[in-house]
């Protein structure tokens, strides 16, 4: 892991590697399972991390996302799993989890986020610029890591 100008990205990478390590032994069925009392599954939470990063950073800056509109809409806040993902799709989500941080770093280094539109998150966090977004992402990721770990504990198939 090379040293970044953005320490938040190093934190994101560590969280995401931890997420991948946490799920490495789970089957496709376990990743797709929605236990009683839950509204989503493990793989939805992982894909949501990618979609949320794209929305918080790119969409709020008036940029195009690096993911398809279909992917974004399937995993944006307020969405829920509509179908089970295949093993191939799961592998693609896992790859995106890591490559999207590298892409974000490249785009930060090219100053693509100068037109950031301020907003307040559902957690009452004010986001005025890309730096605020970068500071918010590890909080958001940690919250979903907690959901992933809870879902993993409740995977009694």
- Closest to 96 measured CA to CA, from 128, 71, 120, 74: 71
Cα 124 from Cα 45, distance rounded (Å) = 21
Burial class for 31, CB neighbours closer than 10 Å (0-12, 13-18, 19+): buried
Per-residue pLDDT band at 1 (split at 50, 70, 90): very low
Per-residue pLDDT band at 154 (split at 50, 70, 90): confident
For residue 27, pLDDT over 90 is answered with yes
Cα 126 from Cα 136, distance rounded (Å) = 9
pTM above 0.85, yes or no: yes
Out of 16-20, 28-32, 33-37, least confident range: 33-37
- Give mean pLDDT, residues 42-65: 97
Give me 87's structure tokens.
């093993």
Tokens 């789970």, residue located: 26
Domains parsed from the chain with CATH numbers: 7-153 (1.20.120.450)
Segments in 5-157 forming alpha helices (H): 7-23, 28-32, 42-53, 69-75, 87-109, 130-153
3-state secondary structure of 127: strand
């Amino acid at each position: 892991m090379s040293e970044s100008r953005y320490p938040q990205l190093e934190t994101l990478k560590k969280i995401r590697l931890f997420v991948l390590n946490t799920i490495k032994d789970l089957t496709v069925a376990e990743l797709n399972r929605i236990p009683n009392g839950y509204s989503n599954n493990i793989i939805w939470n992982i894909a949501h991390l990618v979609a949320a990063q794209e929305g918080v950073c790119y969409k709020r800056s008036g940029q195009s996302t690096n993911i398809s509109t279909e992917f974004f809409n399937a995993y944006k806040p307020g969405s829920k799993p509509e179908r089970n993902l295949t093993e191939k799709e799961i592998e693609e989500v896992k790859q995106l989890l890591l490559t999207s941080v590298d892409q974000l770093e490249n785009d930060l280094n090219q100053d693509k986020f100068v037109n950031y539109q301020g907003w307040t998150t559902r957690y009452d966090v004010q986001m005025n610029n890309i730096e605020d977004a970068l500071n918010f992402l590890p909080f958001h990721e940690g919250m979903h890591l907690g959901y992933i770990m809870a879902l993993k504990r409740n995977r009694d198939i």
